[in-house]
Amino acid sequence: MNFKTIDTPDKLLDAAFGRARKSAALVKKQKTNFYTIKGKEITKIDVSAEFLIEKLSGIVQEFPSVNKLPPFYEDLFTFIVDINVLKKSLSSISSVSKVIKNIRREKIVFLKELPFEKDSIKKVKKTSNEYFGRVSSLVKSLKNDIDVYNTAIKKLKELPSIKTSEEVYLIAGLPNVGKSTLLSKITDSKPKIAAYPFTTKGLNVGIFFKKYSPIQVIDTPGLLDRPLGERNRIELKAISAFQHLKGTIIFVVDPSQELKEQKNLLIELKKLFSDKGFIIVINKTDLINKEKMDLVLKEFSGQYVVIEGNELNNLKEELLK
């Protein structure tokens, strides 16, 4: 995704005014001092306005393409960015760009029509100063809006690159059941793994190759690991992003933890992702004895179950079949 951040107001103004000065220096000497000064000031106004309008309207024109993101990214984007705040900022940026356009026209027309008379050189300077003062404060007033825009773009860029047209495996399961460990076992990804819940914060994406084709596996950060009833609207939006992906859910079970809660989550996810296949991975089987194992298997009987644990690599083998 090719969104660009924009410079801070101070940098934008420095660049605009620097260009203006350079272009003005190239303006040829006219018949009289008055016409030379007038020519230079008109060029300064024109060049700096052109630069600022292009920069400011450029990012506003780029924004609608966010709406053209694949639905998966659009949902995730609304999860991480407050779209209404962003739209407000873009509209402020857009109106400043329009105001600069008007001031440019107004001041240039005034200068072009200004005849040579007493004090007219002073009038040229005054007009130019008015223009630069006005434009400076307009652009500076955008500091917060530019921040909002740049933060949004940065977050958008941080989203993992997932080929949304291809099948994925989504790892789900309660906190601490071993989701990230599994991701690192079946792919080349090195996610954070820790002996406490809620370790994973961003989306972890790993890849493995099946007959030379890359297969994507996504570890979902605290998203598919709690009952939906505990979710706020925005979290639900992020969860709904995954509905746009084609593929299979790998539901990880920790048999050493309470099973009831895990089964409830599985039931919810099956309703939510009714079009997806499910693989139940009974993980950490090294921590339980045979009796417990039989009990757990009975709980999930009739489903596609894979037995996993330290020293075991069954899921990977299963996925490669």
What is the contact surface with Mg ion in residues (CB under 5 A)?
179-180, 199-200
Give the C-alpha distances (Å, rounded to integers) separating 260 from 174, 232, 236, 253, 265: 11, 23, 23, 11, 9
Q: Binding residues for ligand GTP, how many (CB under 6 A)?
A: 21
The span from the CA of 168 to the CA of 237, in Å, is 19
DSSP for 222-265, please give it. Answer: TSSSS-GGG--HHHHHHHHHGGGS-EEEEEEE-TTS-HHHHHHH
**Within positions 217 to 276, which residues make up the interface with ligand GTP, using CB under 6 A?**
225
Residue with tokens 């000031």: 41
- Binder among 181, 189, 243, 248 for ligand GTP (CB under 6 A): 181
From 38, 104, 179, 276, residue interacting with ligand GTP (rule: CB under 6 A): 179
Q: Counting contacts by CB under 6 A, is residue 314 touching ligand GTP?
A: no
Q: Which residues lie across from 306 on neighbouring strands?
A: 281
CB atoms < 10 A from the CB of 170, how many? 22
Q: Mark residue 270 as left, alpha or beta (left: phi above 0; alpha: psi -120 to 50; beta: remaining).
A: alpha
Torsion of Cα atoms, 78 then 84 then 86 then 91, to 10°:
140
Q: Least CB distance from residue 314 to ligand GTP, whole Å?
A: 11
Which residue in 284, 296, 306, 315 binds ligand GTP (CB under 6 A)? 284
- Which residues are within 8 A (CB) of 321 and not within 5 positions of it... i.e. 6 or more apart? none
175 binds ligand GTP (CB under 6 A): yes
Tokens of 49: 């306005």
Least distance from Mg ion to the Cβ atom of residue 304, Å: 22
Would you say 92 or 180 has its CB closer to ligand GTP? 180
Q: How far is the CB of 287 from ligand GTP (least distance, A)?
A: 5
DSSP 192: -
- Which residue type occupies 81? V
CB of 315 to ligand GTP, least distance (A): 11
Distance of CA 276 to CAs 62, 262, 272, 308, Å?
Answer: 34, 18, 9, 22
Binding mask 27-66 for ligand GTP (x = CB under 6 A): ----------------------------------------
Q: Is 309 in the site for ligand GTP (CB under 6 A)?
A: yes
Distance in angstroms (rounded) separating the CA atoms of residues 188 and 19: 49
Is 202 among the residues that bind ligand GTP (CB under 6 A)?
Answer: no
284 binds, among ligand GTP, Mg ion, none (CB under 5 to 8 A by kind): ligand GTP
Question: Shortest approach of ligand GTP to residue 139 CB, angstroms?
Answer: 44
Provide φ and ψ at 133, rounded to 5°.
-65, -45
Q: Which does 177 bind (CB under 5 to 8 A by kind): Mg ion, ligand GTP, none?
A: ligand GTP
Q: Residue 85 binds what, of ligand GTP, Mg ion, none (CB under 5 to 8 Å, by partner type)?
A: none
Of 156 and 259, the one with the shorter C-beta distance to ligand GTP is 259
Q: Is 310 in the site for ligand GTP (CB under 6 A)?
A: yes
User: What's the count of helices (H) and strands (E) in the chain, helices before strands?
Assistant: 11, 6
Q: Which is nearer to ligand GTP, 43 or 180 (CB)?
A: 180
Q: Which stretch binds ligand GTP (CB under 6 A): 65-73, 87-95, 119-127, 282-290?
A: 282-290
Binding residues vs ligand GTP (CB under 6 A): 175-181, 193-195, 197-200, 225, 283-284, 286-287, 309-310
